[in-house]
């Protein structure tokens, strides 16, 4: 039977490549730790990759967040002892130089296609060296992507008993300000202790970006927040950096009970304060819970 390669369509321009829509990376100040965030189009391929790439010596952690897979990497290089079915693909190296991050992938068979053409053609890639792949070949690529900074914006108290919802406003602002320089990565709703003066549910929000222009991003976000908030007590805080975990004890305290301004003042040096209403207490508390969805959503009143 003769195959009709154009049946039902005009055919496929590249039937054996699934390019990643976008790959972005953030790094710590010393360039020792790198987080690579891959936006995926094919969920099966992304889950297969996460399972196997996690075995790579330089991979500290691998997890799925929404439509992305995130790899925290230790800068450096390590040989990959690839083996079909058991360890068919991985990340062989990562480094930071100036304003660029370099990542090297290797794989065999279909894993080699993913490691080579699928990533070399990804959105956000500045340049790539790529092997021929397919069939039983071992292949890979080395890609270069912009070095970005993690920007987490915490917001609380934008609504009133009559109108509004903080989580919707924050998400819509985040979408509006996102651009090529500032990629919108995540939105986390954080359940706080239900204080007496809450609107109803007592939640704050944290939105995360990977940005090459943190100042411009924050300015645009703040302008829209000031324009659309319904409350006189709105709080907005910003953490620019790889890891906001220094704020975690404070955030946990705000989830467990009502805290005073003195507790906020003790950690305020770790954030940029943009809007200083009463909601600032919750805004700062939300930041360290970014993408920790189960803990963020838990009501800690037991």
Q: What is the mean pLDDT of residues 220-225?
A: 98
Tell me, yes or no, whether 141 and 164 share the same domain.
no
pLDDT surpassing 70 at residue 6: no
Q: Final residue of a domain: which of 92, 116, 147?
A: 147
CB-side exposure of 39: number of CA atoms within 13 Å? Answer: 14
CA 200/CA 300 separation, integer angstroms: 16
pLDDT at position 193 is 87
Tell me, yes or no, whether 167 and 266 share the same domain.
yes
Structure tokens at 58: 């330089």
Tell me, yes or no, whether 29 and 129 share the same domain.
yes
- What's the pLDDT tens digit per position in 143-201? 999 999 999 999 999 987 778 889 999 999 999 999 999 999 999 999 998 876 655 66
pLDDT at position 302 is 54
User: What burial class does residue 181 get, using C-beta atoms within 10 Å of its C-beta: 0-12 exposed, 13-18 middle, 19+ buried?
Assistant: middle
CA 284/CA 270 separation, integer angstroms: 9
Number of neighbours of residue 128 by Cβ within 10 angstroms: 19
| Partners of residue 8 on adjacent β-strands | none
Ramachandran area for residue 241 (φ above 0: left; ψ -120 to 50: alpha; else beta): left
Tell me, yes or no, whether 176 and 242 share the same domain.
yes
Tell me, yes or no, whether 122 and 165 share the same domain.
no
The mean of the pLDDT values for the chain is 93
Parent domain of 263: 157-297
Q: Final residue of a domain: which of 127, 147, 167?
A: 147
CA 26/CA 100 separation, integer angstroms: 10
Question: CA nearest 17: which of 136, 117, 89?
Answer: 117
Tell me the residue length of the chain. Answer: 302
Tell me, yes or no, whether 166 and 259 share the same domain.
yes
**Percentage above 70 pLDDT, the chain:** 95
**In this structure, is residue 9 part of a structural domain?**
no
Contact 101, 114 (CB under 8 A): no
- What's the pLDDT tens digit per position in 27-51? 999 999 999 999 999 999 999 999 9
Contact 54, 62 (CB under 8 A): yes
- What's the pLDDT tens digit per position in 90-99? 999 999 999 9
Q: Final residue of a domain: which of 112, 147, 182?
A: 147
Contact 138, 42 (CB under 8 A): no
Cα angle: 291, vertex 297, 300; to 5 degrees:
125
Tell me, yes or no, whether 244 and 268 share the same domain.
yes
Ramachandran area for residue 275 (φ above 0: left; ψ -120 to 50: alpha; else beta): beta
- What's the pLDDT tens digit per position in 109-118? 999 999 999 9
Local confidence band at 21 (pLDDT 50, 70, 90 cut-offs) = very high
pLDDT at position 242 is 98
| Partners of residue 93 on adjacent β-strands | 77, 104
pTM for this prediction: 0.94
When divided into structural domains, the chain yields a total of 2
Local confidence band at 227 (pLDDT 50, 70, 90 cut-offs) = very high
Ramachandran area for residue 168 (φ above 0: left; ψ -120 to 50: alpha; else beta): alpha
pLDDT at position 301 is 79
């Amino acid at each position: 039977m003769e195959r009709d390669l154009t049946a039902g369509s005009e055919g496929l321009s590249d039937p054996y490549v699934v390019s990643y829509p976008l790959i972005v990376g953030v790094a710590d100040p010393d360039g020792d730790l790198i987080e690579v965030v891959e936006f995926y189009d094919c969920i099966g391929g992304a889950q297969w990759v996460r399972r196997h790439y996690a075995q790579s010596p330089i991979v500290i952690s691998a997890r799925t967040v929404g439509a992305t897979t995130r790899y925290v990497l230790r800068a450096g290089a390590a040989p990959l002892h690839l083996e079909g079915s058991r360890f068919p693909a991985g990340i062989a190296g990562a480094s930071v130089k100036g304003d660029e991050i370099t990542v090297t992938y290797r794989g065999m068979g279909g894993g080699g296609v993913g490691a080579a053409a699928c990533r070399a053609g990804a959105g956000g890639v500045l340049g790539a060296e790529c092997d021929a792949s397919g069939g039983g070949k071992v292949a890979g690529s080395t890609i270069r992507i912009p070095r970005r900074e993690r920007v987490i914006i915490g917001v609380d108290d934008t609504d009133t008993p009559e109108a509004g919802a903080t989580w919707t406003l924050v998400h819509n602002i985040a979408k509006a300000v996102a651009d090529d320089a500032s990629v919108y990565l995540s939105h986390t709703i954080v359940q706080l202790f239900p204080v007496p003066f809450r609107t109803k549910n007592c939640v704050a929000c944290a939105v995360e970006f990977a940005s090459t222009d943190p100042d411009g991003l924050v300015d645009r976000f703040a302008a829209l927040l000031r324009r659309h908030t319904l409350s006189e007590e709105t709080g907005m805080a910003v953490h620019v950096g790889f890891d906001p975990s220094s704020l975690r004890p404070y955030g946990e305290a705000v989830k467990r009970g009502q805290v005073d301004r003195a507790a906020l003042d003790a950690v305020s040096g770790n954030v940029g304060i943009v809007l200083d209403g009463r909601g600032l207490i919750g805004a700062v508390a939300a930041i360290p819970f970014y993408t920790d969805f189960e803990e963020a959503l838990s009501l800690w009143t037991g």
